[in-house]
Structure 1
Amino acid sequence: MTSNDPNSAAAEPIGRDGDLPTVLLDQIEYHVGEFARPQLDGLTDAEYYFDPTASGTAWTIHPRAADGERPPTSIQGGSGDVVIDFEFPEPDPAPLTTIAWRFGHIIVGVLGTRSHAHFGGPPADYMTWDYPDTAQEALAQFDAAYERWIAGVRTWSEDDLQVAVGEAEGPWAEYSRATLVAHINRELIHHLAEIALLRDLWAHRG
């Protein structure tokens, strides 16, 4: 993880105090480095797959099922024997999701696709990803995806952040890179908070 030691090279600001690149990066690096990532230490496989619903219907990551063993509207994303749950159209309300599912979403949908589109990172999409089937593998994938994204954002100057994100972001193509970075910050903050809450529910389960 990125160091928060003010004397470390990784923590040196990339611009003036209060400029846009520094504010955006400081917000997420401080939150992840000081709070969210340390809260993930010691994550077990039991927590990773914990389904707090009484019906056991939370979306998760699991071994691939045969077509006849799942609803016709369900989708199994993944390139191998381990897949992630989706459904189209999405149910309303959408099912609760496990920590495993949330990591899959963060690693692929939040970080991986963006690093690929904007910084030339490895290809990433829900249908072809090799999903981690253990908590430690998920943490390793998250750390790599997070560091790749942050390294890319660090290459954008204040002027670069005003450039439109382009067609990779679909209907939001005309929005600025700064808006995208702020959006990814929000995504990371709220999804990692959801994971922390699921760990609390596991710790206090009846």
Structure 2
Amino acid sequence: MANSSTPAWGELLIGQLAFYWDAHLHPRLDGLTDEEYFWEPVPGCLTVRPDADGNYRADPGPRTGPQPVTTIAWRMMHIAVGCFVTRSSTFFGAGSVGDDADMFDPRHVPADLPHTAAEGVAFLEDSYRAWHGHVSTLGDAALQLPLGPKGAYFSDEPMAALIVHVNRETMHHGGEIGLLRDLFAATGAVRRTDRLAASAS
């Protein structure tokens, strides 16, 4: 007999990310060292580094053309800030950023990012827990509502589409973090400046 019950789509969407976090990404961050966190396996990596005032910021990537290799620090902050913090602030914020701010407004980005691997892991976990807590409260009607002006050029897309996008981004970049950790260990790297291979002369 066919199952005629209607799937709880919201629970499936939110549960997908929760399972990935609990079973895959979070365990892969255990024991992360500062040298791994900031490891630049090739020259010219995008990373998280201090600015002139000592505040740590993520390097901006080029808008077009080949994308540089990125560090674990950059990937973790891309997930934490680009996926979780900015979306939580935009759609569930407590008014600390003006109502005129869409989800790409730089005012959502913290002025100073974590300086160490341990701080980075804690920040990523906190940002994930906040996002998960927010979206877990949404019913079917809220999931179907358009993002509106806060969604910028995705204003006509429903909240469910944003959740799917965040899930995809987290799993994509989380897999890269795992690979970078594997490469760090497999190549015998011990310092953040150790390279995968010597540059061609």
Shorter-chain TM-score tier: 0.7 to 0.9
Q: 2:88 aligns with which of 115, 129, 132?
A: 115
**Pair 1:196-2:185 in alignment:** no
3-state SS of paired residue (1:100): helix
Shift of residue 94 of structure 1?
1.4
Whether 1:43 and 2:16 are equivalent positions in the alignment is no
Q: 20, 33, 36: which one pairs with 2:22?
A: 33
| Matched residue, 1:82 | 56
SS of residue paired to 2:137: coil
- Partners of 1:194 and 1:174 lie apart in 2 by 31
Over the matched positions of the two proteins, sequence identity in percent amounts to 37
Question: Does structure 1 residue 163 correspond to structure 2 residue 145?
Answer: yes
Name the aligned partner's letter for residue 114 of structure 1.
R
Q: Which residue identity is paired with 1:189?
A: M
SS across alignment from 2:59 = strand
How far apart are residue 63 of structure 1 and its match? 2.4
TM-score, normalised with respect to structure 1: 0.78
Equivalent-residue separation in structure 1 for 2:6 and 2:115 (angstroms): 41
Please state how far the C-alpha of 1:80 moved relative to its aligned partner: 4.5
Aligned-partner SS, 2:111: coil
- Gapped runs of 5+ residues in structure 1? 1-15, 66-78
* 1:98 and 2:85 correspond: no
Q: Which amino acid aligns with 2:37?
A: Y
Cα distance in 2 for residues equivalent to 1:111 and 1:127: 11
**What is the one-letter code of the residue matched to 2:47?**
T
Amino acid at match of 2:177: I
Alpha-carbon separation, structure 2, partners of 1:25 and 1:176 = 15
**Pairwise CA RMSD:** 2.1
Shift of residue 112, structure 1, vs aligned partner: 0.7
Pairwise CA distance, 1:91: 5.3
Listed as ranges, the gaps of 5+ residues in structure 2 are 98-104, 189-201
Change (3 A) 1:173 1:100: same
Q: Residues 108 and 129 of structure 1 are in contact (CA less than 8 Å); yes or no, is this contact kept in structure 2? A: no
Give the equivalent residue in structure 1 for 2:194: none
User: Structure 2: how far apart are the matches of 1:129 and 1:19?
Assistant: 38
The 1:86–1:175 alpha-carbon spacing in structure 2 relative to 1, beyond 3 Å, is same
Q: How many angstroms apart in 2 are the aligned matches of 1:52 and 1:17?
A: 48
Aligned residues: 175
4+ long deviations beyond 3 Å: 121-128
**2:41 aligns to what SS in structure 1?**
coil
